[in-house]
Amino acid sequence: MAKKKKNEKGLVLSGGGIRGMAHIGLIKALRERGWEADRVAGTSIGALVGAFYANSNTVEDMLSFFKETPLFQYNFFTINKAGFIDTERYYKLLKAYFPKDTFASLDLPLHVVATDLLQGEEICFSEGELIRALLASAALTPVFSPVKVGKLLCADGGIMNNFPKEYLDEHCSSIVGSNVTIAGEMHKKDLKNPFQITARVTSLMIYTSSKKKLGQCQWAVEPKELESIGVLDKSSIEKAFTIGYDHASRELDRLGSESPLLLSV
């Protein structure tokens, strides 16, 4: 007999770099309509935003963190680790927001996905030390160095699972999903060199693995306008946030107040 799901509302947030600011826009639009999740799952930037959400931080807190956190600060670069930037330099910055540094200290259950590079396996963290799990999930290779979590050497969760909906399925009767890793149509002129081809193939692989799960959510968003924003383009934080907010607001208004999503408040 299938195990009965708990009557919880879930929120799934994908990876996608700076485009993940659209997750914060979605959160603002949902909160304005009285919808709050009971449980969160996220990968990479989605794990970071999910942690702030599970910590009951405001939208303003979330945006401030990402705006104030440096990406390419000279003293963050490393020559002793596999990566251009030492991911662990961000520990103190996150500690200011998560002083207890545990999953148990959050207001909501949180599931954080990372990739175990040594065993080649997907790892999901949901208890114990919080910050190192977040750093591991967001360690986008080859830019950011892998992170040691216990005996594991971990990197970006998007390598294995960019949209970790399955960690909510057992618990949640309704799930809202936000995907910011878009793989829309491209023109031949945009695929002229090996780097562009590699980026395209990677995005297609990631999107294909997420597409089916997106369709299984009670409601999901993936704003196509985000394609114009680079994954590490920090100057587009506000733009990505606005795209996410405007897109979610339009879709929620179109659904109307009688939709099953908003009736589940």
Q: What are the tens digits of pLDDT across the range 93-102? A: 999 999 999 9
pLDDT tens string 163-174: 999 999 999 999
Asked whether the predicted pLDDT for residue 265 surpasses 50, the reply is no
* Catalytic residue selected from 86, 116, 145, 156: 156
Catalytic residue check, 101: no
Structure tokens at 238: 């506000």
Classified as helix, coil or strand, 13 is strand
Distances from the Cα of 34 to the Cαs of 31, 46, 259, in angstroms? 5, 21, 13
Query: Could you give the angle at the alpha carbon of 241 between the alpha carbons of 236 and 245, nearest 5°?
Result: 150
Q: Which of 121, 212, 111 is nearest to 164 (CA)?
A: 111
Nearest by Cα to 35 from 23, 26, 46: 26
Distance CA 90, CA 100 (A): 16
* Given 44, 137, 178, 210, the catalytic residue: 44
The tens digit of pLDDT for each residue in 207-217 reads: 777 888 999 99
**∠ CA(104), CA(135), CA(173), 5° rounding?**
50
**H or E, element range at 148:** strand 147-149
- Report the distance separating Cα 44 and Cα 35, nearest Å: 24
How does the average pLDDT of the chain come out, rounded?
87
Is residue 44 flagged as an active site residue? yes
Per-residue pLDDT band at 2 (split at 50, 70, 90): very low
The predicted pLDDT at position 1 comes to 38
pLDDT of 195 over the 60 cut: no
Whether residue 196 is predicted with pLDDT greater than 60 in this model: the reply is no
The model's confidence at residue 25, banded by pLDDT at 50, 70 and 90, is: very high
* Pick from 126, 119, 116: nearest CA to 170: 126
Going from the N-terminus, what domains does the chain have, and what CATH number goes with each? Answer: 8-255 (3.40.1090.10)
